[in-house]
Chain A
Amino acid sequence: MAKTVAIVEDDPAIRANYTDLLKKHGYQVSAFADRGSALAAFRSRLPDLALLDIGLAGEPDGGFALCRELRALSAALPIIFLTARDSDFDVISGLRMGADDYLTKDAGIPHLLARISALFRRADLLREPPLEEEILERGELRLDMKRFVATWKAKPVDLTLTEFWLVHCVARFPGHVKNREQLMKEAHIVVDDSTITSHVKRIRRKFQAVDPAFDAIDTVYGLGYRWNT
């Protein structure tokens, strides 16, 4: 059975376009223009994944509220923010509401599809016991490539999908400097230098929350980042 993706987006053209795109990629799509109708529909039946815009008609932060309500309905439901807002403040707020990832609208459909399928894979795997495991271990770091779960010193680090991919990109070849283009490619994002910098800062902070002595990600100024073992 096809997976259901819910889109909450107030711009009709974007909503229709994304609906068509996702349908063409084999998903079942339910689209909503505002928070009220979306929430009413979610209460009767949860989708398999939700794409939320932050600014909804009449509510500049309606997406944040909807995300919180949706998270209350289901802890496991994958939620992705898809928005025009790209300030650090919005990213942090969105992720704090319990979203799994945050994507700006200029990312393009391939990046969105990569996230949707990855999150679906993870959801499926969480439901059934793992038949095979794909684990990347670098010192204290352990990355579960199927479930997108990162652990540091056996403690889970709560990374978003984008952050997980970034960590994977840097940690796969320790000692090698990964530049911006490589990081963007592997993390399925299109951003500028300063966004990469803030992503890395957030990742470091999440690891430091688990282990204050964490310093495995080195900045090589002008070049990129390096996993330090």
Chain B
Amino acid sequence: MRFGLRAKVALVALVLAPIPWLGYRYVKDMEAVLREGQEQALVATARAVATTLHDRPELLDLRPGVAANGEMERILRSLGRADLRIWIVDRQGRLLAITGDLRKKVPDEPPPADALEVLARSLRPVTQLLLERPTEDFDDALPESQISGAGEVSAALQGMAGRRWRNSTDSRAVILSAAHPIWSGDDVLGAVVVEETTNAIRSLSDRTLEKVVAVTLVVFAISALVLLAFASRLSLRLRRLRDEAEQAIDSQGRVKKLIAGSSSGDELGDLSRSFSTALERLAQYNAYLEKLGGRLSHELRTPVTVVRSSLENLKMTALPEEARVYTERAAEGLARLDAILTRMSEATRLETAVREAERERFDAGEVLRGCVAGYASVFPRIRFALSLPDHPVMLRGAPDLYAQMLDKLAANAADFSVADEAVRVRLDEKGALTVSNSGPLLPAEMAGRLFESMVSLRPDHLDGKEPHLGNKEPHLGLGLYMVRLIAQFHGGEARAANREDGSGVVMRVDCPVSS
């Protein structure tokens, strides 16, 4: 599976995932501390009430089931807080007095203090799915079992302070209750029970968690945007570089245009600059290779002239018969060397000719007819079959260059043709010229490179299957390169392919018809 650069960078963003988890853990710890504090506070309140009642035992002398009178009410009120419920039981488990309400009186939240809170509240529909919000709508009834049988109450009646967490009867709230015995000497007169819900703490921790969620979302969003922008920029630059690199070299391996080296100072800029340098060197090297032939032949002309004029001098002196054989061989070798030099400079001269040639409208069919007629004497062992459309095919270019191109194609086809089958030269109305011969196929890896300078497929050792390769003409792989040059001059393109039935090779030159 392939991951794009952007997907990878997005994966990196997962590093941020522990942030909400850490926040959650922190809030839970805080909540535990707050609960602990709440327990302590409730126990302290219970103790304070018990101590006060210990000093005023007469207040306890009440008939059970009757609401506390004014004094008792006042004491409990003064020691209690809002949202506390305080009640007193006697040793028989009878409720002596009760005051206060577990439900919160002022449930309204304070207005949001900052943008984060605004965001946190606007996210509440989402966070509510995760967090159970405390409600004030719970059953705050005091069940009989709690009064008489609950653990902390009976513990207090035994003389030990106790505390307990319990759910409200409808389980919609958690209630913390602390009980403390009321002493009278060594006797326990009764027990004070102070109750409070955990709603205050829970709503505080919920609000904090909401904020954590909001902060996390904001951080996620910002970092995702930053990373996305960064990754997009990177991949955009990489893609541009890739496109440039792909376009820089055409299918024939030539450097068409250089990459404009980026000026940025990072590694991508480095890469683009080194691409640019590498392509420039490749272009220089290609140019050097294409010029090499011409330059070499020019440089070799002078020493060849020395050899030739020396041989000519030798010929004019009286030589023994033995020496004559050798001068003849030397002259033969010199002739071959000359042919090679001519071939080498031919391509360079053609490049100049192509640069300077004037374009005119001409009938390609007429040129082909003349050329193919002439091949009868040039290639006496090969037959050529010409097929032309009925009407003229007008191209724009130079007819003599076009003829030269056909010469190269014909020579190539004639050299590789093995069977007695004629070399087929065909021109269609759209200006496509094909020269097709039976014979050995092109290796797949060479198909694109065949039209480069100095690329030749000719075997080093000729075997019997290729009878026509035996001629004396030297081959430097420049013929098809010249075909390409001329095809390009005519606005066309040269291609080589194997015949579909695998019996030979087709060279194809498409030149646009001039209207």
- Residue in chain B with minimal CB distance to A11: B302
A18-B309, A194-B349, A222-B370 known; 6 new pairs, CB 8 Å cut-off, are: A13-B306, A14-B302, A105-B301, A179-B377, A220-B370, A221-B402
Q: B116 in the interface, Cβ–Cβ < 8 Å?
A: no
Q: Are B403 and A221 in contact (CB under 8 A)?
A: yes
Asked, given contacts A105-B301, A106-B301, A106-B308, whether A219 binds B400 with beta carbons under 8 Å apart, the answer is yes
How far is B38's CA from A41's CA once the two chains are assembled, in angstroms? 127
- Residue in chain A with minimal CB distance to B358: A201
Q: A87 in the interface, Cβ–Cβ < 8 Å?
A: yes
Q: B208 in the interface, Cβ–Cβ < 8 Å?
A: no
Interface string of B99-124 (1 = CB under 8 A from A): 00000000000000000000000000
Q: A229 in the interface, Cβ–Cβ < 8 Å?
A: no
CB-CB under 8 A from A88, the residues of chain B are 349, 352-353, 356
Q: B367 in the interface, Cβ–Cβ < 8 Å?
A: yes
Instruction: Tell me the smallest distance from the CB of B130 to a CB of chain A, in Å.
Output: 86
Contact of B313 among A11, A24, A85, A104 (CB under 8 A): A24
Asked, given contacts A221-B370, A221-B400, A221-B403, whether A14 binds B309 with beta carbons under 8 Å apart, the answer is yes
Q: A65 in the interface, Cβ–Cβ < 8 Å?
A: no
* Contact residues of A between 131 and 154, Cβ < 8 Å to B: none
Q: A84 in the interface, Cβ–Cβ < 8 Å?
A: yes
How far is B349's CA from A224's CA once the two chains are assembled, in angstroms? 20
Q: A197 in the interface, Cβ–Cβ < 8 Å?
A: yes
Q: A61 in the interface, Cβ–Cβ < 8 Å?
A: no
Interface string of A149-166 (1 = CB under 8 A from B): 000000000000000000
Contact of B350 among A17, A20, A21, A194 (CB under 8 A): A194
Q: List 13 A-B contacts (CB under 8 A).
A: A13-B310, A17-B306, A17-B313, A21-B312, A24-B313, A87-B349, A88-B353, A106-B342, A109-B312, A179-B374, A194-B350, A223-B370, A223-B371
- Residue in chain B with minimal CB distance to A196: B400
How far is B402's CA from A88's CA once the two chains are assembled, in angstroms? 20
Q: Are B312 and A108 in contact (CB under 8 A)?
A: yes
CB-CB under 8 A from A59, the residues of chain B are none
Q: B483 in the interface, Cβ–Cβ < 8 Å?
A: no
Q: A86 in the interface, Cβ–Cβ < 8 Å?
A: yes
Q: A128 in the interface, Cβ–Cβ < 8 Å?
A: no
Give the number of residues in A that approach B within 8 Å (Cβ atoms): 33
Instruction: Tell me the smallest distance from the CB of A94 to a CB of chain B, in Å.
Output: 16
Q: Are B400 and A197 in contact (CB under 8 A)?
A: yes
- Number of contact residues on B: which range applies? 35 or more
Q: B407 in the interface, Cβ–Cβ < 8 Å?
A: yes
How far is B301's CA from A14's CA once the two chains are assembled, in angstroms? 11
Asked, given contacts A194-B404, A222-B373, A222-B406, whether A17 binds B309 with beta carbons under 8 Å apart, the answer is yes
How far is B374's CA from A18's CA once the two chains are assembled, in angstroms? 38
Contact of A106 among B304, B350, B400 (CB under 8 A): B304
How far is B306's CA from A18's CA once the two chains are assembled, in angstroms? 9
Asked, given contacts A21-B309, A106-B305, A109-B312, whether A84 binds B298 with beta carbons under 8 Å apart, the answer is yes
CB-CB under 8 A from A222, the residues of chain B are 367, 370-375, 403, 406-407
CB-CB under 8 A from A195, the residues of chain B are 349
Asked, given contacts A221-B370, A222-B374, whether A11 binds B306 with beta carbons under 8 Å apart, the answer is yes
Instruction: Tell me the smallest distance from the CB of B382 to a CB of chain A, in Å.
Output: 14
Q: B394 in the interface, Cβ–Cβ < 8 Å?
A: no
Instruction: Tell me the smallest distance from the CB of A110 to a CB of chain B, in Å.
Output: 8
* Contact residues of B between 334 and 352, Cβ < 8 Å to A: 338, 341-342, 345-346, 349-350, 352
* Contact residues of B between 455 and 484, Cβ < 8 Å to A: none
- Give B residues with C-beta under 8 Å from A: 298, 301-302, 304-306, 308-310, 312-313, 316, 338, 341-342, 345-346, 349-350, 352-353, 356, 366-367, 370-375, 377, 399-400, 402-404, 406-407
Q: Are A84 and B350 in contact (CB under 8 A)?
A: no
CB-CB under 8 A from B312, the residues of chain A are 17, 21, 108-109
CB-CB under 8 A from A20, the residues of chain B are 313
CB-CB under 8 A from B367, the residues of chain A are 221-222
CB-CB under 8 A from A223, the residues of chain B are 370-371, 373-374
- Residue in chain A with minimal CB distance to B315: A109
Instruction: Tell me the smallest distance from the CB of A76 to a CB of chain B, in Å.
Output: 28
CB-CB under 8 A from B373, the residues of chain A are 222-223
Contact of A192 among B309, B346, B402, B406 (CB under 8 A): B346
CB-CB under 8 A from B350, the residues of chain A are 194
Q: Are B313 and A21 in contact (CB under 8 A)?
A: yes
Asked, given contacts A24-B313, A194-B349, whether A85 binds B298 with beta carbons under 8 Å apart, the answer is yes
How far is B227's CA from A51's CA once the two chains are assembled, in angstroms? 78
Q: Are B310 and A17 in contact (CB under 8 A)?
A: yes
Interface hub of B305, B341, B350, B374 (most chain A Cβ within 10 A): B305
* Contact residues of A between 1 and 50, Cβ < 8 Å to B: 11, 13-14, 17-18, 20-21, 24
Instruction: Tell me the smallest distance from the CB of A229 to a CB of chain B, in Å.
Output: 20
Q: A193 in the interface, Cβ–Cβ < 8 Å?
A: yes
- Residue in chain B with minimal CB distance to A106: B338
A-B interface, 7 closest residue pairs, ranked by CB to CB distance from nearest? A222-B371, A17-B309, A84-B301, A222-B374, A221-B370, A221-B403, A105-B305
Q: Are B403 and A14 in contact (CB under 8 A)?
A: no
CB-CB under 8 A from A18, the residues of chain B are 309
How far is B310's CA from A88's CA once the two chains are assembled, in angstroms? 28
Q: Are A24 and B302 in contact (CB under 8 A)?
A: no
How far is B353's CA from A222's CA once the two chains are assembled, in angstroms? 18
Asked, given contacts A105-B302, A222-B403, whether A194 binds B316 with beta carbons under 8 Å apart, the answer is no
Q: Are B341 and A109 in contact (CB under 8 A)?
A: no
Asked, given contacts A21-B309, A21-B313, whether A193 binds B407 with beta carbons under 8 Å apart, the answer is yes
Q: Are B399 and A221 in contact (CB under 8 A)?
A: yes
Asked, given contacts A24-B313, A194-B349, A194-B404, whether A84 binds B372 with beta carbons under 8 Å apart, the answer is no
Q: Are A108 and B316 in contact (CB under 8 A)?
A: no
Instruction: Tell me the smallest distance from the CB of B297 to a CB of chain A, in Å.
Output: 9
CB-CB under 8 A from A197, the residues of chain B are 400
Q: Are A193 and B404 in contact (CB under 8 A)?
A: yes
Instruction: Tell me the smallest distance from the CB of B394 to a CB of chain A, in Å.
Output: 15
- Residue in chain B with minimal CB distance to A24: B316
Interface string of A98-119 (1 = CB under 8 A from B): 0000001110110000000000
- Residue in chain B with minimal CB distance to A55: B302
CB-CB under 8 A from B313, the residues of chain A are 17, 20-21, 24
CB-CB under 8 A from B406, the residues of chain A are 222
Q: Are B345 and A86 in contact (CB under 8 A)?
A: yes
Instruction: Tell me the smallest distance from the CB of B359 to a CB of chain A, in Å.
Output: 15
- Residue in chain B with minimal CB distance to A109: B312
